[in-house]
Amino acid sequence: MTGIVSHDGIKQLVLVSGRAHPELAQSVADALGIDLVPTTAYEFANGEIYTRFGESVRGADAFVLQSHASPINQWIMEQLLMVDALKRASAKTITVVAPFYGYARQDKKHRGREPISARLMADLFKTAGADRLMSIDLHSAQIQGFFDGPVDHLWAMPILTEYVRTRVDLSNVTVVSPDAGRIRVAEQWAAKLGGGPLAFVHKTRDIRRPNQAVANRVVGDVEGRSCVITDDLIDTAGTITGAVRVLLEAGAKDVIVAATHGVLSAPAVDRLQECGAREVIITDTLPIDDDKRFPKLTVLSVAPLIARAIREVFDDGSVTSLFDGNA
């Protein structure tokens, strides 16, 4: 069955996917109990992208899933074209499902004459014809206000914390924020892990040099304790591995790293393997190729979360209910 028809027979749900992360799309479709809409997509000789759906989507509530992996601009453009195709094929509603939202780190101006790229992304999807956005662990909550329409901001925290609880002694764990800006998230993590103490790593960053930060010292009780560092993403892993080093130097018993998005740009894999962390835990919001996997890496699936959120939206239910009313 390609789609889901509502109990009253009035509405139809269809799921379409780009080529960035077909494994995740198939897992979401399996969780929903449907097939993906057959889609043709390829590049012309000059790099232009062509997309076409193999079935009618007229009158359907369409969900177009594409995680913004590398090469990020290609996959964003493909998703924009798929949204435009859905609009011109008379889909009733179009929801952009971007588990990892591209350009989210550029959500404000640090210096003069810079773009706010995360806002531009939202404008592009709206112009293409999207009625709704759905994403997981946006870099900052303010991005929800950039889109002129509903935004479903999903949390991977329940998936991550449920696993981490099986990997640590809850009576001897400290949750660590890699910088002062994510203390609020670390507090929520600590509550999920039994209410232990918090710590954060003081770091400095030169805004003129991307992907470079220096971890200076840890603030909080970490000596002799298992530490869990939480972050929204790991790109080149400089921030995370610097935090691991500072924690171990401060006497931490061991360190687990947990993050939602595994961007893992070079030299992230080498850094993570050598930093001394006991385990690195991420989700599959982005494809993790074989050359990016290593023995200490654990990848958890977000497909059930996305499938439940899609079903709640289709059934006019509550996405917030998936997070105990805390989202």
List pLDDT tens digits, range 270-298: 999 999 999 999 999 999 999 999 999 99
Outline where the chain has alpha helix (H).
22-32, 72-88, 117-128, 157-164, 183-192, 238-249, 268-274, 303-314
For the cut 70, the answer to whether the pLDDT of residue 326 exceeds it is no
Q: Which tokens is 213 given?
A: 């930060």
Residue 240 DSSP label: H
Residue 9 DSSP label: S
Report CA 124 to chain centroid distance, whole Å.
Answer: 19
Q: Is 203 a catalytic residue?
A: yes
Q: Which residues contact 9 (CB under 8 A, 6 or more apart)?
A: none
What sign has the CA pseudo-torsion 68, 260, 138, 65? positive
Going from the C-alpha of 236 to that of each of 107, 213, 266, 270, 271, the distances in angstroms are 19, 11, 6, 10, 8
Cα–Cα dist 261/60, whole Å: 30
Q: Give Rg (Cα) of the chain.
A: 20
Q: Which of 123, 147, 124 is nearest to 134 (CA)?
A: 147
184-188 mean pLDDT: 94
Of these residues, 92, 109, 126, 203, which one is catalytic? 203
Cα–Cα dist 62/83, whole Å: 9
pLDDT of residue 34: 97
Amino acid at position 88, single letter: R
pTM over 0.95: no
pLDDT of residue 181: 77
For the cut 50, the answer to whether the pLDDT of residue 327 exceeds it is no
- pLDDT tens readout for residues 96-153: 999 999 999 999 998 999 999 999 999 999 999 999 999 999 999 999 999 999 999 9
b/e code 14-29 from CB counts within 10 Å (16+ = b) = bbbbbbbbeebbebbb
